[in-house]
């Protein structure tokens, strides 16, 4: 059987998340993400995905301490980052530095903790260096998300940290998406977790996957005012362009993460001006897509409102995909562990159509 893009093919069994594309629901190990994001922190959710139970107070404190002690950049990683050309994009920097990490390569909790802890430091260090700002050493007092914002900006606003944390929790895990699949394929050859995460990062950066949010910002900037929405969207679709932040392989209704993030934005005390433009663009674009693609069911995906969250936090669009990776690293590692524990090498067939 030939299925381009493996559409509709089930390739793994997993206990990590369940997606219902018709209902628009996402569940991590049996618990809906709406409940998780309301009740648990980044650290608790990551632990739950990795280990399958929520940590008690003592276990959580140990997990948090392990994350903190793994935040510091090894000297050689710092040197590699400093050597990379200034214009190199953040996802390329992340791919190169992660691939340089020297760890015993097993897919296990210790390596997962190291990777989860170090990615924010790589992003913040590189961002500040290339912007000509001084480096901010990781704090040993702040929690994971607060520390990330602190290393990026030099200060921590609790409300902003909560908003970013909601985004990072809702995007930690999402079944066999392209980057997670890449990680599992790599592990399935009995390769190591650093190689698996390097494959995942290389896959994540594409504009059809994790590279979409900066495309969403470009779209909204191009639209500028509500009266231009219809004209710009029609023009793009006439040119056979895809509208970034719309459509999903699995969700044939609203992406629950997009809904969750939208709700978080609407809870803000002061709504930034562009939120109104984003809401109207969503409404009109869904209707225009129905005209152009009557057989498809195209709604906003997580990337649309991820872009909105990042814009509210005034985060440079050049960092968006890397920040998505700082969340999805949990899913990559836990899938790598699941694959390693019950492995069959991935080796689909290819239908020969040559001469």
Closest residue by Cα to residue 140 from 64, 36, 56, 242: 64
Phi-psi region of 13 (alpha: psi -120 to 50; beta: other; left: phi over 0): beta
- Report helix, strand or coil for 175: coil
According to DSSP, residue 18 is labeled: E
In this structure, the strands spanning 25-28 and 17-20 are: antiparallel
CA angle 220, 312, 250 (to 5 degrees): 65
Closest approach of Cβ 203 to ligand ACO, in Å? 10
Closest approach of Cβ 104 to ligand ACO, in Å? 31
Judged by CB under 6 A, the residue of 51, 128, 249, 297 near ligand ACO is: 249
Judged by CB under 6 A, the residue of 246, 299, 305, 332 near ligand ACO is: 246
- Report helix, strand or coil for 40: coil
Chain positions 98 to 137 lying near ligand ACO, rule: CB under 6 A, are none
Enclosing H/E stretch for 313: none
> Is residue 248 among the annotated active site residues?
yes
Interface region with ligand ACO, contact rule CB under 6 A, candidates 81-89, 146-154, 242-250, 315-323: 242-250
Judged by CB under 6 A, the residue of 303, 315, 336, 337 near ligand ACO is: 303
Binding mask 5-34 for ligand ACO (x = CB under 6 A): x-----------------------------
Judged by CB under 6 A, the residue of 209, 264, 311, 335 near ligand ACO is: 209
CA–CA dist 318, 198 (Å, integer): 19
Enclosing H/E stretch for 194: helix 193-204
Closest approach of Cβ 43 to ligand ACO, in Å? 23
- For 14, what's the count of Cα atoms within 13 Å in the CB-facing half-sphere? 29
- For 85, what's the count of Cα atoms within 13 Å in the CB-facing half-sphere? 4
> Is residue 335 among the annotated active site residues?
no
Residue 207 near residue 215, CB atoms below 8 Å: yes
Which is the catalytic residue, given 114, 144, 248, 335? 248
* 245 part of the interface to ligand ACO, by CB under 6 A: yes
* 329 part of the interface to ligand ACO, by CB under 6 A: no
In the block, residue with structure tokens 């399958």:
52
Judged by CB under 6 A, the residue of 163, 243, 315, 340 near ligand ACO is: 243
* 201 part of the interface to ligand ACO, by CB under 6 A: no
Closest residue by Cα to residue 329 from 144, 95, 115: 115
Interface region with ligand ACO, contact rule CB under 6 A, candidates 72-80, 102-110, 127-135, 237-245: 237-245
Q: Provide the β-strand partners of residue 25.
A: 20
Closest residue by Cα to residue 273 from 212, 320, 226, 216: 226
Which is the catalytic residue, given 146, 282, 303, 338? 303
* 335 part of the interface to ligand ACO, by CB under 6 A: no
* 301 part of the interface to ligand ACO, by CB under 6 A: yes
**In the complex, residue closest to ligand ACO by CB:** 247
Of residues 6 and 268, the one with the C-beta less far from ligand ACO: 6
- For 41, what's the count of Cα atoms within 13 Å in the CB-facing half-sphere? 14
CA–CA dist 73, 75 (Å, integer): 6
Interface region with ligand ACO, contact rule CB under 6 A, candidates 66-74, 112-120, 162-170, 203-211: 203-211
Closest approach of Cβ 245 to ligand ACO, in Å? 5
Of residues 68 and 262, the one with the C-beta less far from ligand ACO: 262
Residues that bind ligand ACO (CB under 6 A): 5, 177, 208-210, 212, 242-249, 293, 296, 298, 301-303
Residues noted as catalytic: 248, 303
């Amino acid at each position: 059987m030939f299925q381009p893009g493996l559409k509709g093919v089930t390739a793994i069994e997993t206990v990590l998340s369940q997606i219902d594309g018709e209902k628009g629901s996402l569940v991590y190990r049996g618990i809906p993400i709406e409940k998780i994001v309301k009740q648990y922190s980044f650290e608790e959710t990551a632990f739950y995905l990795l280990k399958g139970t929520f940590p008690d107070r003592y276990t959580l404190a140990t997990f948090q301490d392990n994350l903190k002690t793994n935040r510091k950049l090894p000297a050689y990683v710092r040197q590699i980052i400093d050597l990379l050309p200034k214009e190199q994009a953040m996802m390329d920097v992340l791919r190169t530095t992660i691939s340089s990490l020297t760890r015993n390569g097993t897919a296990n909790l210790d390596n997962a903790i190291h990777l989860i802890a170090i990615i924010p430091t790589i992003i913040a260090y590189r961002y500040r260096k290339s912007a000509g700002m001084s480096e901010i050493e990781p704090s040993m007092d702040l929690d994971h998300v607060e520390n990330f914002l602190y290393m990026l900006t030099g200060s921590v606003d609790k409300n902003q940290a909560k908003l970013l944390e909601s985004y990072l929790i809702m995007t930690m895990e999402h079944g066999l998406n392209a980057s997670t699949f890449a990680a599992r394929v790599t592990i399935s050859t009995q390769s190591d977790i650093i190689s698996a995460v390097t494959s995942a990062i290389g896959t994540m950066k594409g504009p059809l996957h994790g590279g979409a949010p900066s495309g969403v910002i470009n779209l909204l900037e191009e639209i500028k005012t509500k009266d231009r929405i219809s004209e710009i969207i029609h023009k793009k679709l006439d040119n056979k362009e895809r509208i970034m932040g719309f459509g999903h392989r699995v969700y044939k209704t609203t992406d629950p993460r997009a809904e969750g993030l939208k709700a978080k934005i609407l809870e803000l005390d002061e709504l930034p001006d562009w939120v109104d433009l984003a809401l109207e663009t969503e409404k009109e674009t869904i209707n225009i897509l129905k005209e152009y693609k009557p057989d498809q069911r195209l709604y906003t995906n997580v990337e649309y409102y991820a872009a909105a969250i990042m814009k509210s936090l005034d985060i440079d669009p050049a960092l968006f995909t890397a920040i998505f990776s700082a969340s999805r690293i949990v899913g990559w590692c836990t899938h790598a562990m699941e694959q390693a524990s019950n492995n069959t090498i991935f080796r689909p067939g290819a239908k020969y159509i040559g001469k």
